[in-house]
Amino acid sequence: MTKPFVPRYDNGGLVVAGARPHRWPAMGLARPAGTALLVVGAQRSIASQCAGASYVWETISALVAAMRPWGAKIAWARHARSPANASCPVLPPAHGPERGPAARRPGDLVALAYGVDGFSASPLAEGLRASGTVHLVIAGFGLEGPVHSTLRTASDRGWECLLVADACAPFQPDLAPGALGMVEMSGGLFGVTATAQGLLSALAAGAAHRGEQAV
């Protein structure tokens, strides 16, 4: 599709009209000061178990490169096993020493979680609250695992979520359609999905409208 989304924009505000099953945000606009890009499972030990991880890292980098200058908060969730579920197979047993993703910058929010859910035993909720985030763009590794659990909790706690479908790498490619379908077919139960291109186009259109150089 050459033009899958019809972005609307206003004075720095963002709307992704082609999100499924409905536009995002559902009403009004996402403002930079109230929006965060949250990258879930942002660590080698998880990404290395995912299909298409290299491509997804590139896509996430493009999202970060566009959303950071727009003014969104950039947040990274890392996971270790919950102490209460020590046999959890896909998560590392502890938060090890780590070289951050290339796209990470000082001042980004980094939340260490204990569990599949990025909100589990982590300061993620408090960090997002402190930054004034109400609109949450979600990407990351383990689409049907950490990404989905984090999306579900974010939605229950009141963040209005946009899952960027092709900026998420699944553990099992067979499970990706179902993971996306649960979002798209449920009428907005856990937020909505869009493509990275749809989000980037909406951002670029807003920038052009404002007379800025498109990011």
Residue closest to 75 by CA, chosen among 115, 31, 16, 135: 135
Name the minimum Å distance from CB 190 to a copy of itself: 7
- DSSP-derived pairing of the beta strands 73-80 and 35-40: parallel
Residue closest to 120 by CA, chosen among 101, 146, 143: 146
Whether omega for the bond prior to residue 170 falls within 30 degrees of 0, making it cis, is no
Instruction: Return the number of the residue (83 or 208) whose C-beta is nearest a copy of itself.
Output: 83
Name the minimum Å distance from CB 34 to a copy of itself: 11
Name the minimum Å distance from CB 53 to a copy of itself: 17
Spatial distance between the Cα atoms of 185 and 103, rounded to a whole number of angstroms: 32
Instruction: Return the number of the residue (65 or 84) whose C-beta is nearest a copy of itself.
Output: 84
Name the minimum Å distance from CB 111 to a copy of itself: 8
State both tokens at 14.
């963002």
Instruction: Return the number of the residue (183 or 204) whose C-beta is nearest a copy of itself.
Output: 183
CA 130 to chain CA centroid, nearest Å? 18
Instruction: Return the number of the residue (43 or 120) whose C-beta is nearest a copy of itself.
Output: 120
Binding region for a copy of itself (CB under 8 A): 26, 82-90, 109, 112, 114-117, 120-127, 129-130, 144-145, 148-149, 152-153, 155-158, 171-172, 174-175, 177-179, 181-182, 185-190
Q: Do 49 and 151 touch, CB atoms closer than 8 A?
A: no
Name the minimum Å distance from CB 24 to a copy of itself: 12
Instruction: Return the number of the residue (11 or 87) whose C-beta is nearest a copy of itself.
Output: 87
Q: Do 72 and 35 touch, CB atoms closer than 8 A?
A: yes
